[in-house]
Structure 1
Amino acid sequence: MMRFPGPVFLCLHCVCPFETTANWSGWSEWSMCSKSCDGGLSNQKRRCYGNINCAGPGPCSGYLLNDNARICNVHNSVGSTSAVREWSPISEQTYPCFVLCHDLSGNTPNEIKTDKEDGTKCSSAENFYCIQGECKRLGCDGEVWSNKVIDGCGVCGGDGSKCSTNATRPQFYWQLDWSPCSVTCGTGHQESIIHCMNSRTKRRTMDYFCDREIRPSDLTGECSPSDCPPRWEISSYGRCSVECGGGIQRRNIRCVVGTGRANLITVGSYQCPDPIPITEKACNLNFCPASWQTGKWSQCSVSCGIGTQTRSLTCVKFPTHGIEINVSHSECFGARPETTRACSLEACFKEFFSVPSIVVDNSTFLQTQRMKKVYLNVGGKAILLPKQPVKIRCVVKNMDSRLIFWTKDDRLISVSPYKRVHVTPKGVLKIKRTDPNIDKGTFTCMAGIEKASTYITFQTKKKAVKVAKSMMKHVLQEVPSLDKPQSDKIPGSHDHLRSLGGNSSTLAEYMVSDWSACSRSCGAGVQTREVTCGVFSDKFIKIVSVKHCEHQKKPVNIKKCLLQDFCPQWDVDKWGECSVKTCKKVGKAVQRRAVYCTNGNGTVIRRSKCQNVPVPTGSRECDNADCKVEWITSKWTKCKPHCTPRGKKFRSLSCVWKRTQKFAYSQCSSLPRPQAWKPCKSNCKKECHDHSRYCSLVGRLKMCRYETFREKCCQTCKRVTE
């Protein structure tokens, strides 16, 4: 507990909130620095003579601030070995009892906190002073947070009973208390609570009994119940490192501890509670869509004149960031880059000053109604109705049109005007009346070494109208109806072509196909559609270059899709024990694990749902030195056949695992195989019988001395010998 004597008060270049009187002394000299090293404070003082209420030049507004710059300057060039530093207060500070200083030289640490000198007035309210960096209230007895005040008789902590008999104490007076601190740790605030009290009953009463003109002002004080423990300060995750293919998001964490007034300092991470928050996580795990990738152009195929250049074209997918694989061209969307282009080198013959070039119209023409005559430019594709007159022009620059010739499927077309299909003197291909059985195919215009082709095919009127109506359902702007009559003339891109009145680009509109199915049945995928530019009339539809639709905003041709959030996938348990019960080979056993199908979030579903996903292996070999084999044998059988001196005994052999005695089948091939049989003799008594009707004769002729006769006539020979 800290005490301050009265009537002396300490001020540090502040003003006192009272009416001015002439009872202040002058300021003293600056005191010596409070520390000989590591930064300290010096101060000035002045004394208040007489009345306890110090007079000042005028009322203070808010907290009374000190000379912050001078307090920070005491840290400049601290220590004999330190680098020169220049400390300055951080701008816009409202801390009453300490100053935050930062180092202008950029060294580390670059921020320090310096407490103001004890006894500095820190509030416009009475009796609030700085004590060890905190703004605290002092009672009239000099005790910190003491509630003692001077009573009406001028006695500190008095109850008004010591006044003279002529003095009277008001029956009702204002009493100031404080609310609990707003925080349980760190630096918070507390509000003043002002009650109207009855001096006789010492109890709270209604506010209107007290004089409102002398009611104390509402106050807010600072409080610090205890220091807060260290905690983790976590920033938000930053952007993903890649847009697709699997990236990383990062965030910053640090272990901080509060030092009051919302000021945080970084401390060692070991001081913060476990677990340490993660700083990275995976993001954008969806596959990157496939894209076209082209190689470098080759050298020109000729050394002079007009040739060609080629380059490789692959469709590339990046399943994960940094990994590139080639896939089928069908997986790439967007325009297919060209792989062949013409190249022009120095002319082979000096007399040729310009190279012929064919103007190609790469459009698709779809006829829906019969026309007097169909006019086409060479290039692209034409789908016509049968029995239709057709003219195809081949516009060639830098060449006489009389030198143009045509072929049909690589066969030269006649120039005779009497033929149904022929070439006019101006190089125009003319078909008087198309025949689908003959005229379907490729017609090629040849101009020197240049050539361009138009492919012609046919379909019925019914099918053509059906296709046209289907196409126009997807046109983005209103187009002429197929039922309204219009001109037979076909718009083209050149002045010499017959046009549909004005620039054909003003008639062109974007047309889109239906969206494709989602590229993936689960998870994030994409849908695509074809975007084309077309000119429409009641008799034909012409698909032209998209440059003719530049007056419109081009529709999107790709969008994301999601049929279901999770994809079926295989999940596995941990590998089981490498046990002798699952021995497979000598020194090798089998480990197994459970394999089951889940929907991606851990829920087990039918195995058939994962049939399109490669199944992880559920077993594998493992090393087990106890997987050993041995031969076991059964008991020997009796000697077979009976009653013979050259019989055999047998026994069964089995290859088994030593530990479990289970069959090991062919695993004993490396061990010596025990004997499965052995020879034996079978001695048995035979019954004595005669086996011939001539045995009586054998006895009389004394033939029993021969073994053969003894065996055949055993009974007779036995009787003879007896």
Structure 2
Amino acid sequence: MFTYKRPNEISSTAGESFLADGPTNEVLDVYASVKLFQSENILVSSGPSPPAVQAGEPLNGQLEMPESTNHDEEDLHREMDTLTGQAAGTFPVIQPGRFPSHQPENQVPAVQPPRQNREHNWKQIGKTECTTTCGKGSQYPIFHCVNRITHEEVPESYCDSSTKPIPEEEACNLFPCPAFWDIGEWSECSKTCGLGMQHRQILCRQIYANRTLTVQQYRCHHLEKPETTSTCQLKICSEWQIRTEWTSCSVPCGVGQRTRDVKCVSNLGDIVDDEECNMKLRPNDIENCDMGPCAKSWFLTEWSDRCSAECGDGVRTRSVVCMTNHVSSLPLEGCGNNRPSETTPCNNGPCAGKVEWFAGSWTQCSTECGSGTQQREVICVRKTEGHFDVLNPYECSYLERPPSQQSCYLKPCGSKWFHTEWSTCSKSCEGGFRVREVRCLSDDMTTSTQCDPQLKPEEKEPCNTQDCIPEIDENCKDKYYNCNVVVQARLCVYTYYKTACCASCTRVANRQSGFLGRR
């Protein structure tokens, strides 16, 4: 049992003490609440003496901060010195069994509250985790109720809650956090248009004691330094220029397009990429043009290469469609009822004389393109040189019968060349020309660009290349010897002179007609 002894505070200069009959074989935990007023104090502990700490020395292996040339780094050093040094001099340690002979007059005595249960007491078993990993954090001691003899933890109700020590904040992780680059905002661009420059400020910073301090840049040498300058461009100084007039319309009739040349030009007069000009202000370089209504004509594909029958008579096919014709020389009229034929006869020669199944030609596919069905007639025949003899089907039963119905894929839904009929020849003799329009059309009869250019039909060809032969009229003769005077005086326009000098006037008329035709 320990006896607490406290002398008269007014007349005695002796200190407080604990007295007990000894010896004891147990480890004793003594907690004293002491308020320090002087640099020299008394610390009572039952454990080993803590190391003396000199003022201004690093604590717990803390690295010493290098010298700094700015005020923030000096503040960082002073902050660390205050935490690690606390006060000048060392703290004397009093070992168990040795007590000072007197107590300073202004010393506040340590008071041990009475224990309700002497078998258990409060014991510090550790500390909380530090609130930060660097830059000065806080942690607090953790007290648990333990058995005084076995030191095993017991429920807190076993100890007097009024005697539980109040955890006091302790500084931890005093070393500064790693330095980092603090990046400022970009400045305004140095130019209002075109390429310019902009700048920003970067600082090497460290955090300590919830304060962000500016330090010398060499502390951030382990980090990639951000760029402090950059190019910028608020707007483009180039402008749009129209270099050519509108072209002619792309079609002789109907709705087509016309174009013109629009370029982006720099302030030096050079043609630059369009992106350097404001695309919202770009003048149109293409527009529609209407050249009036067009004629309609029949457009035809070429005949198919394959005959529908392998031998004997068959047919070849082509596609026919009525569409607007852009050839301006044709009259403005519709296609009419004279639709060109879509089939033409063909014959691959006589068939050999033998008994076999004869399959007629397939009907046209049920669709114009893609998948469909088609039928044909299948009969048993004996082929001869001039004809077929139809036999009973059992005569061909030993042969595999061809199908009479099948799925078909007439053509891929792609594009083919269509053309109109030839126009009238421009001249009746001595060589003229005729034209037709050729278009690439898809299966839905819309204009396409997917046709093979090498298969495109001709759009113009010569015609009526024979010489012009004037007709001789025996009744057309000159009645006067000086009809050349009538011709020179241009009197052939009158009926009398045209009859009296018929031959001369006719020759002149033919020459003028031939000249105009050659033009």
TM-score interval (norm. to shorter): under 0.3
When the two structures are superposed, what TM-score results if normalisation uses the length of structure 2? 0.28
Which structure has the bigger radius of gyration? 2
TM-score normalised by length of structure 1: 0.21
